[in-house]
Amino acid sequence: MGELEGPAIWKLEFRPDANRHIVLIGTPVVAGARDFFAELRRKIADSREKQALVFIHGFNTTFTDAARRTAQIAYDLGFDGVAAFYSWPSHGSLSPLGYNSDVRNADLTVAQFKQFLTDLSGNTQAKTIHLIAHSMGNRVLTRALSEMSLAASNARFRKVILMAPDIDAGLFRQLAVQMKSQAGEITLYASSRDLALKASETYAGYPRAGEGGNGIVVMPGLITIDASDVDTSLMGALHQYYGDSRAILSDVFALLQGRPPDQRFGLKRVEKQGNLYWIFKP
Query: How much is the pLDDT for 240?
Result: 79
Is 185 within the bounds of a domain?
Answer: yes
Asked if residue 85 lies in contact with residue 55, where contact means CB atoms within 8 angstroms, the answer is yes
- pLDDT, tens only, 200-229: 999 999 999 999 999 999 999 999 999 998
Residue 134 lies in a domain: yes
**Spatial distance between the Cα atoms of 216 and 275, rounded to a whole number of angstroms:** 12
Q: What confidence score (pLDDT) does residue 250 get?
A: 95
For the sheet containing 82-86, what is the strand order?
A: 82-86, 51-56, 128-134, 157-163, 183-190, 223-226, 275-280, 267-272
Q: What is the DSSP string of 70-94?
A: HHHHHHHHT--SEEEEE--------
pLDDT at 251: 96
Note down the domain range covering 207: 9-280
In the chain, the percentage of residues whose pLDDT exceeds 70 is 97
Tell me how far the alpha carbon of residue 129 is from its chain's centroid: 13
CATH code, domain with 18: 3.40.50.1820
Q: Give the three-state DSSP class for 127.
A: coil
Question: Three-class SS of residue 207?
Answer: coil
pLDDT of residue 279: 97
Residue 126: inside a domain = yes
Number of domains in the chain: 1
Domain annotation covers residue 120: yes
Residue 4 within any structural domain of the chain: no
Q: Which pTM value belongs to this model?
A: 0.93
127 falls within a domain: yes
How much is the mean pLDDT over the chain?
Answer: 91
Partnered with residue 83 across adjacent β-strands are 53
Q: Is residue 196 part of a domain?
A: yes
Checking if the pLDDT of 233 tops 60, the result is: no
Is residue 211 in some structural domain? yes
